[in-house]
Amino acid sequence: MVPGFTVGSLSGIAGDAQGRAAWISGWNYQDQSRSTYLRRDGDGWTVVRGPAGGATAPYLNDVTAVPGTGGFWSAGMTSPVPAPPTEAYTERLDG
């Protein structure tokens, strides 16, 4: 278990340039106001929250490394319900 992330789901994982797990995208049931990620921090994981105001209840489906940049992108929806008025949603993460 990762402190700060107890109830929810994990939906995608991205590796760094060396192929090691770097970011995991997720959905935090207890706080749906921003996206939730787990970021590799040495031998453990740290909870990182996405930007406030980007979407009312973002739900991420995946996260991926952008080759040659050191950055990552995540993609999903503006709501956990895949029906209107939900729209496509993306976030950019740095290293």
Consecutive H or E run containing 91: strand 88-94
pLDDT value of position 1: 62
Q: Report pLDDT digits (tens) over 42-90.
A: 889 999 999 988 898 999 999 999 988 889 999 999 998 999 999 999 9
Q: Report pLDDT digits (tens) over 36-55.
A: 999 999 889 999 999 988 89
User: What pTM did the predictor assign?
Assistant: 0.88
Secondary structure letter of residue 2 according to DSSP: B
What string of DSSP letters covers 8-51?
A: EEEEEEEE-TTS-EEEEEEEETT-TTS-EEEEEETTEEEEEE--
Secondary structure letter of residue 90 according to DSSP: E
